Amino acid sequence: MKTIIIFATFCILATTAMGQIVNPGYDSTLAKTLGADEYGMKW
């Protein structure tokens, strides 16, 4: 039972950590040039 709890906690933490990685391919200068907002999205 203890192993399952540790494994589940690890999976949750790993998923949360992966969600915080910054996109290395994002070019803020290009986004501004194309008229995108702070998230890189255009309307």
In the chain, domain spans:
2-33
What span, in angstroms and rounded, lies between the C-alpha atoms of 34 and 2? 52
3-class SS string, the chain: CHHHHHHHHHHHHHHHHHCCCCCCCCCHHHHHHCCCCCCCCCC
Mean pLDDT of 19-30: 76
Give this prediction's pTM. 0.40
35 pLDDT band, cuts 50/70/90, is confident
Residue identified by tokens 């494994």 is 7
- Give the percent of the chain with pLDDT over 90: 19
What span, in angstroms and rounded, lies between the C-alpha atoms of 3 and 1? 5
